[in-house]
């Protein structure tokens, strides 16, 4: 089976699994939002800001070396597994030791207990890193899709049950722990490899050399996302933190649906092409064209329909988050495009510049957010977005260097779909302005249909090459054995 067909089939499975997972997760999230309220989610966001950093750098750091162009060996697999195990236990201990100080920083004693309870997921996630990397490398995405769906269902059942029983914020903790536990069981059941103690200093050095750069990159990425929650929670309180949290959660889910299938499949596909002696830049350009075709209209539509969407999904009490959500949709566009581009750099083993740029975003973002605090939550959200947009040209330049492509050419790929999405958003805004006083459900449905109609018409006129490219990948997926029917 060709790499292109494997890529198309993998994207199909990950898309189907991701959409089903997030649809279920979104329903669960909406139920929990109605049961628990704004302040509860604010407390969770304040505690999870530190735990999520640890989870993320364990999940997608050292094990990424298994997805590069290099060949695998038992010693390399063992080295990755045991280094991650030791690292995750150390992170758990650090979180436990720091929980009291973090609670005092917030001025909320219960934060310490939440951090300790949530941090057990860090070593749990470390246990799945190697089997998941093996499944991705071999492009067995059907297993990964089913695993994700099973985890979110199990966690959702427990979370809702605990919320109804009056456990409050602890229902969100229970939901997360059960979800990760199910993921562990299904990942190990799908691979035949088991860890051993056959190690070598050479492989450990190689893994550490790559791994510490990946850890730096992942830590910076998640720190950049969590900086607003920390500053907002400390300076503006749990209610404002909750409003920002729900806006970010909507954007996170939307970006997950678009980015994760492409990102999860593209990285091993790039590595496979390189190992076979090919040049993956052509595949990179095709994936970028498809990404822009989907990302820009999706988030532009969400930006102008933010208020009715929040009210319909979560209730009237979440309406004040609408301005923040509209701003964060632009970050969603950036995030989807940048994550797909990043996979090319990682498949090539080029991590250093990515990590440096990510930490620059953290520093610049913290400074801009801190300066914007006196002006309120909307200003803080704008400052957060600005830090990423200011440094974005440097990311294009780095990608162009690695792929031997012109950075300007890469950037210009996104101009046409961005302009068309902006025109679409303008049309939807004019429509919703005529619907004042109408039910929010009507505004959301008519706005969505109008947006789809406008952008489809514009794409047929100006983006036929991308529509044809999307159809070709779709046909490859349907024709591939093991792909979706």
pLDDT digits over 360-398, tens only?
999 999 999 999 999 989 999 999 999 999 999 999 999
User: How far is the C-alpha of 255 from the C-alpha of 336, rounded, in Å?
Assistant: 6
Nearest to 285 by CA among 298, 260, 259, 266: 266
Q: Extract the tokens encoding 60.
A: 């997608």
Instruction: Indicate the average pLDDT of the chain.
Output: 85
Place of tokens 């090919």: 278
Q: Residue 324 to residues 29, 234, 264: CA-CA distances in angstroms?
A: 19, 18, 29
Alpha helices in 107-140 (DSSP H): 110-118, 121-126, 129-137
Count CB-CB contacts under 10 A for residue 409: 11
pLDDT at residue 399 greater than cutoff 90: yes
User: How far is the C-alpha of 35 from the C-alpha of 32, rounded, in Å?
Assistant: 5
Alpha helices in 60-169 (DSSP H): 74-106, 110-118, 121-126, 129-137, 141-164
pLDDT at residue 192 greater than cutoff 70: yes
pLDDT at residue 159 greater than cutoff 60: yes
User: How far is the C-alpha of 336 from the C-alpha of 334, rounded, in Å?
Assistant: 6
Q: What is the pLDDT of residue 209?
A: 82
pLDDT tens profile 160-181: 999 898 888 888 889 999 999 9
User: How far is the C-alpha of 374 from the C-alpha of 207, rounded, in Å?
Assistant: 45
Helix 464-479, helix 3-36: angle, nearest 10: 100
Q: Give the number of residues written for the chain.
A: 485
pLDDT at residue 100 greater than cutoff 80: yes
């Amino acid at each position: 089976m060709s790499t292109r067909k494997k890529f198309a089939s993998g994207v199909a499975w990950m898309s189907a699994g991701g959409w089903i997972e997030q649809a279920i997760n979104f329903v669960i999230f909406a139920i929990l939002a109605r049961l628990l309220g704004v302040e509860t989610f604010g407390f969770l966001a304040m505690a999870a800001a530190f735990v999520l950093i640890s989870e993320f750098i364990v999940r997608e750091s050292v094990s990424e070396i298994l997805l590069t162009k290099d060949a695998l060996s038992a010693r390399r697999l063992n080295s990755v597994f045991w280094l991650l195990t030791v690292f995750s236990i150390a992170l758990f201990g650090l979180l436990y030791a720091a929980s009291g100080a973090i609670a005092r920083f917030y001025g909320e004693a219960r934060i310490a207990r939440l951090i300790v309870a949530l941090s057990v997921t860090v070593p749990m996630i470390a246990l799945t890193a190697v089997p998941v990397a093996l499944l991705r490398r071999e492009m067995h995405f059907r297993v990964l899709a089913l695993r994700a769906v099973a985890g979110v269902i199990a966690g959702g059942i427990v979370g809702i049950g605990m919320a109804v029983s009056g456990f409050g914020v602890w229902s969100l903790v229970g939901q997360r722990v059960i979800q990760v536990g199910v993921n562990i069981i299904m990942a190990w059941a799908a691979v035949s490899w088991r860890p051993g103690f056959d190690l070598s200093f050479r492989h450990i050095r190689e893994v550490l050399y790559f791994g510490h750069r990946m850890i730096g990159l992942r830590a910076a990425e998640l720190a950049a996302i969590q900086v607003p929650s920390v500053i907002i929670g400390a300076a503006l309180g749990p209610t404002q933190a909750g409003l920002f949290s729900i806006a970010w959660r909507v954007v996170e889910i939307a970006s997950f649906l678009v980015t994760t299938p492409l990102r999860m499949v593209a990285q091993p596909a790039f590595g496979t092409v390189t190992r076979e002696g090919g040049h993956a830049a052509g595949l990179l350009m095709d994936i970028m064209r498809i990404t822009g075709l989907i990302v820009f209209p999706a988030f532009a539509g969400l930006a102008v329909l933010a208020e009715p969407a929040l009210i319909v999904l979560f209730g009237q009490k979440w309406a004040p988050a609408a301005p923040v959500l509209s701003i964060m949709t632009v970050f969603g566009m950036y995030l989807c495009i940048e994550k797909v581009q990043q996979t090319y750099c990682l498949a090539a083993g080029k991590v250093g510049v990515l990590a440096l740029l990510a930490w620059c975003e953290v520093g610049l973002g913290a400074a801009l957010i801190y300066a914007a605090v006196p002006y309120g939550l909307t200003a803080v959200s704008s400052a957060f977005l600005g830090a990423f947009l200011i440094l974005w040209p440097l990311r294009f330049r780095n990608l162009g260097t690695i792929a031997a492509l012109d950075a300007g050419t890469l950037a210009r790929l996104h101009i046409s779909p961005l302009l068309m999405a902006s025109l679409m958003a303008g049309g939807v805004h004019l429509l919703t302005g005529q619907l004042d006083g109408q039910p929010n459900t009507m505004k959301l449905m008519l706005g969505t249909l109008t947006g789809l109609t406008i952008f489809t018409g514009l794409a047929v006129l100006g983006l036929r090459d991308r529509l044809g490219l999307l159809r070709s990948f779709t046909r490859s997926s349907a024709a591939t054995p093991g792909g979706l029917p």
